[in-house]
Amino acid sequence: MQSTDITRSIQIKKYALGALIVTLTILTTTSMFMYALKPKEEQQSQATQALDPCKKEAEHVSKEAVAENPNTGQTDPRVLIQLLQERMASDEEKTVQLEEEIEALKETINKQANVSALFMANIRETDTAIENINTNVSESQKILRSLVLDHEKSIIKLNNFIFGTAGVPAVRKKPEEKVSVFNGSQEEEEQPTNLVF
């Protein structure tokens, strides 16, 4: 009894599984057919859409021709061809003008690039010139400082000589702190004692 129930349930499951497989295959085949047919329709619609601008242009030109010749109910193909040729010529002129404007813009861009390169070169030269001037100024300050110190020493010697010949002994002073004009540091200045020549 139980074995017959088990076999029946197995057979029912087999039938259900078979029915499920059949329905799935039917659904997949129909979906494949629909998918295969759909791109052809889309391609045809795209082709018709691509032809629509040409049709619109031809209709526009024919309307212009009818507007020029309202007496004729039909449009002469020669008139349409002439209008299309005029339209193409005007489009070619516009493209030529646009190309000329583009070339002019390219030339101005190149000129501006050259000007900016020259400007940067001038800035570099100016920087080097400023550095050279700074080094020259620092060197001249050093030379001037040494000259001033030598001049002070010669003045001290001359004073001692004058006072020594006059019989006035030179008094030795304590070293004084003197602020240098050039570097802002404090320098000690010694007044030498009586020098005998």
pLDDT of residue 132: 92
Assess whether 100 and 164 both reside in one domain. yes
pTM of the model: 0.33
Q: What is the rounded CA–CA span in Å between residue 13 and residue 10? A: 5
Domain assignment present for 113: yes
Assess whether 36 and 85 both reside in one domain. no
Assess whether 85 and 148 both reside in one domain. yes
Asked whether the predicted pLDDT for residue 136 surpasses 90, the reply is yes
Beta bridge partners of 177: 188
Assess whether 145 and 86 both reside in one domain. yes
Domain assignment present for 46: no
pLDDT of residue 195: 47
Residue 10, domain extent: 1-41
pLDDT of residue 99: 92
Q: How far is CA 180 from the centre of its chain?
A: 52
How many structural domains are present in the chain?
Answer: 2
Q: What is the mean pLDDT of the chain?
A: 74
pLDDT of residue 81: 85
pLDDT of residue 39: 58
Answer with the residue of higher pLDDT: 86 or 36: 86
